[in-house]
Chains A and B, each alone.
Chain A
Amino acid sequence: MKNDIILAGVGGQGILSIAAAIGLAAVKNNLHIKQSEVHGMSQRGGDVQSHLRLSDKPIASDLIPKGKADLILSVEPMEALRYLPFLSKDGWLVTNITPFNNIPDYPGLEDILKQIKSFPNHIAIDADTIAKQAGSSRSSNIVMLGAASPFLDIPFERLEDGIRQLFGKKGEELVNTNLKALKAGRDFTEKNR
């Protein structure tokens, strides 16, 4: 088995937390993992991406080859489209639809959504609203993880363990909010795929 995942977003949106939660779950599941991330200049509001690779066999490259990603998981709609050269023919595009507009020439949301919806394998989710309903607007990245979870070869309980480990130090309340966010994201995908 292998899951090659591109995580996409804007610096500061929390894609590294998603990567960390999946990473912790994968290690508990005895999978091999390589996860490449962006630090430094781009984190200042620029586009950021992380290549996350899971496999039951040893993984060679830290980078996913073009056309081989099984999943693009984006916390921002325009950023979802930036990595299409990496997506395989049968791959899934799972994205938040709330735009992060910090550039003067940000395109119209309708044009972006039209592109996203042209993919048969897409999940477009309003993660910010769902996160608010789950208790905290700051958990939208974890809603996105939940929305992508049906496409990962990791048992859902392991992801929940990952969330507990990741947020455990910050208190029970935050753990529960994020577990709710995770579940809400998953439910959305299961209803809409």
Chain B
Amino acid sequence: MEKLLLLGDEAIAQGAIDGGLSGIYAYPGTPSTEIMEFVQGSKQAEELSIHRTWSANEKTAMEAALGMSYAGKRAMVCFKHVGLNVAADAFVNASITGVNGGLIVVSADDPSMHSSQNEQDSRFYAKFSLIPILEPSNQQEAYEMAYYGFELSEKLNVPVMLRITTRLAHSRAGVQRSQVKKQNQLHLPSDPRQFVLLPAIARKNYKKLLGMQPSMDIESEKSTFNTFINGSDKKLGVIAAGLAYNYLMENYIDGKNPNPILKICQYPLPHKQVADLYNQCDSLLILEDGAPMIEEMMKGFLNLGKPIHGRLDGTLPRDGELNPNIVAKALGMAIQEGQEVPEVVKNRPPSLCQGCGHRDVFEDLNEVLKEYGTGRVFSDIGCYTLAALPPFNSVNSCVDMGASITMAIGAADAGLIPAVSVIGDSTFTHSGMTGLLDAVNKNAPITVIISDNSTTGMTGGQDSAATGRLFEICQGIGVHPDHLKIITPLKKNHEENVRIIREELEYKGLSVIIPQRECIQTFARRKKAEKNESN
């Protein structure tokens, strides 16, 4: 079959489609977004009637995927690493229910925090949920792991995590496809109580999961994704996980390695292979992108064995993603650097687009806040967080999806009145609605601004779950109609918008203001598409 030039994300999507996928569920989040986008744009997926719509958040996506697995079909759920926190309740319990149709959970980590608020390592979640992890080192493996992951999931009766990092997600290479597999037929679990986690059943299921651990180890031992490459210099053995393997090999001329290498791309760690490497070498170097998970396991608490080098002893930096140079340094190789960056080069941070409606919202808000003083704007995850930077300097918090509303409630409880929350439309429907209910129930003296651009902007303009219905949703949650306002954030409305915001800030109870104007990027794209159509 033909070779395709695919991003790591796209390779996963194509592998899943070819591997018998029936439904993919996701919420957009860099660097995972392109997996769903690829399936949505795929003609093959359309012909196969694969379910492929965005979910309201990662938890609903995880649960829908589990439901599809319950019904016997193969499902995939995708999100960024912090999305796994949102989905964690369903994720951890899905390892106790087990699966019926194969279930792959793709968690895309972002070491170095290119587009994230932390660099947590998803492998820990899979480890304490006692399920296997597949961690591709390249785009071809990303394809193959998505293709093979369903089978592994069905064989072991657990969800399988497919863990990638930004660098692979957004890097392109040639990918060879395999034969397309048929989708599973609808079929119920053979045990009708398998998914009923009443304590008595959960205890039974948990023992079963524990009993499966040796089988998972055997799968890792015989996996072709885990390979031992011998080397003559046994002073140092190297364990390289996932993408780190590439950075290692980059430093060996013509791929010739002096040291023995164990390449790990499937977990649980293959016990025998790891022990073999340890026994034949004087010391080990552990290369893994993200947290030092393997390194900690190898060292143990007391660190009594042979020297183990990695992120914990300073051989590698404790944080941030790896690269060929960092690995070269850890191997004691000389680094050939280019020239230094000249002083004339200035930082160029990201900023809100020219013409973006969020800009007008913050210009309006800043003017009113001059009267109250700074330090009272709780914001959220989205483009509008960029208003924390100059020239706006408006935003005082950005923590997790939905936190703007609930943090404002807590700050107001402490006496910071008025407190203001600024949240986007997609983030609001993702995790803001329950917080707004809290605010309604206590009539919290906060002003919630839902800056509605009718899209999920930061990730490139995916559908937002409640476009055109925010007013009704707020009404339904119980916001008083006298303090529920829609405004249009345009320069010409500045005076009027300032007046409305000022009035609502003065009100000693809950107000919701919804500035509505389409995202300038999706607007431009829509106009262009319309123009092309009329031609």
Give residues in A with beta carbon < 8 Å to B: 10-11, 23-24, 27, 32-47, 58-69, 78-79, 81-82, 84-89, 91, 102-107, 111-112, 115, 170
Question: Which of A36, A47, A67, A84 is within 8 Å of B348, CB to CB?
Answer: A47
Question: Which of B34, B246, B338, B349 is within 8 Å of A39, CB to CB?
Answer: B34
Query: Given A44-B383, A66-B337, A61–B246 Cβ distance below 8 Å?
Result: yes
Asked whether, in the complex, the Cβ of A63 is within 8 Å of the Cβ of B323, the reply is yes
Asked whether, in the complex, the Cβ of A104 is within 8 Å of the Cβ of B172, the reply is no
Kindly list 12 other residue pairs between chains A and B, CB separation below 8 angstroms, not including A44-B386, A82-B341, A106-B346: A35-B171, A37-B172, A38-B114, A42-B114, A44-B352, A45-B350, A59-B173, A60-B247, A60-B255, A62-B173, A81-B344, A111-B344
- Could you jot down 12 A-B contacts, CB within 8 Å? A39-B30, A41-B30, A41-B115, A45-B351, A60-B248, A61-B246, A62-B173, A62-B246, A64-B324, A67-B335, A67-B337, A103-B347
Q: Which residue of B lies closest to A36 (CB)?
A: B171
Q: Compute how far the CA of A23 lies from the CA of B173 in the bound complex, rounded to whole angstroms.
A: 9
The answer to whether the Cβ of B399 comes within 8 Å of any Cβ in the partner chain is no
Give residues in B with beta carbon < 8 Å to A: 3, 5, 30-31, 33-34, 114-115, 167-168, 170-174, 243, 246-251, 255, 323-325, 328, 335-342, 344-353, 383, 386, 390, 458-460, 532
Query: Given A23-B5, A40-B115, A102-B348, A65–B328 Cβ distance below 8 Å?
Result: yes
Q: Which residue of A lies closest to B535 (CB)?
A: A171
Q: How far is the CB of A163 from chain B (nearest CB, A)?
A: 16
Q: How far is the CB of A146 from chain B (nearest CB, A)?
A: 22
Q: Which residue of B lies closest to A107 (CB)?
A: B344
Asked whether, in the complex, the Cβ of A61 is within 8 Å of the Cβ of B5, the reply is no
Query: Given A33-B172, A34-B173, A44-B353, A67–B338 Cβ distance below 8 Å?
Result: yes
Asked whether, in the complex, the Cβ of A41 is within 8 Å of the Cβ of B114, the reply is yes
Q: Compute how far the CA of A85 lies from the CA of B218 in the bound complex, rounded to whole angstroms.
A: 45
Residues of B within 8 A of A86 (CB): 338
Q: Compute how far the CA of A88 lies from the CA of B338 in the bound complex, rounded to whole angstroms.
A: 6
Asked whether, in the complex, the Cβ of A44 is within 8 Å of the Cβ of B351, the reply is yes
Q: Compute how far the CA of A66 lies from the CA of B353 in the bound complex, rounded to whole angstroms.
A: 32
Q: Compute how far the CA of A104 lies from the CA of B350 in the bound complex, rounded to whole angstroms.
A: 13
Q: Which of A33, A44, A64 has the most CB of B within 10 A?
A: A44
Residues of A within 8 A of B386 (CB): 44
